[in-house]
Amino acid sequence: MTALIFFIFAGIAVFCGINLVAQTHPIASALSLIGVMGSLAILYLQLGGEFIAAAQMIVYAGAIMVLFVFVIMLLNAGAEGALQTSRFVRYFGIVLLAAFLGLISFIIQSMLPRTEGVVFGLFQGGTAVDVGRKLFTIYLLPFEVTSVLILIAIVGAIVLARKEI
């Protein structure tokens, strides 16, 4: 059952990833990215990361991607024109990419030690309580620094995007 869910959602993630690169219109790419994020959230759930799965959907798919979709709609970005690189370069690039990924997969499979399998429910430490406990004790400094970072990002985005009167 775990393997079935993994294959289905890994397949959806890879398909949406390929769709992101292959589609010409940015909105289709944005929706494919939301598909990737959704399937990755299910995989995080399988790995016991329930808080991170919910945070991924709320923050990434529900806020960041909405921002992307807004900007695409506002700028009225149309479909891209034809590429200027030659066909041979493009297709050879795809072949090279596939070969590179195959090489990486082979290395991962053969060089890393045999780990145990992922069983859904084996790792119970990913609850909100555990994440919160570590976040507010050991990782308190990065937490406060990222809150200042977000404040800087808010101020920067507002200053950059406002209308000059």
Report d(CA 12, CA 140) in Å as an integer: 36
Report d(CA 146, CA 116) in Å as an integer: 35
Q: Binding residue for another protein (CB under 8 A) from 91, 119, 140, 144? A: 119
Residues 59-78 interacting with another protein (rule: CB under 8 A): 59-64, 66-75, 77
| Least separation in angstroms between CB 71 and another protein | 5
| Least separation in angstroms between CB 128 and another protein | 6
Measured in degrees and rounded to the nearest 5, phi and psi for residue 38 equal -65, -45
Q: Binding residue for another protein (CB under 8 A) from 91, 140, 144, 157? A: 157
| Least separation in angstroms between CB 49 and another protein | 5
130 binds another protein (CB under 8 A): yes
| Least separation in angstroms between CB 88 and another protein | 14
156: alpha, beta or left? (left if phi > 0; alpha if psi -120 to 50): alpha
Q: Binding residue for another protein (CB under 8 A) from 8, 91, 92, 97? A: 97
54 binds another protein (CB under 8 A): yes
Rounded to 5°, the CA angle 94-100-106 comes to 135
Of 84, 107, 88, 86, the residue nearest 96 (C-alpha): 88
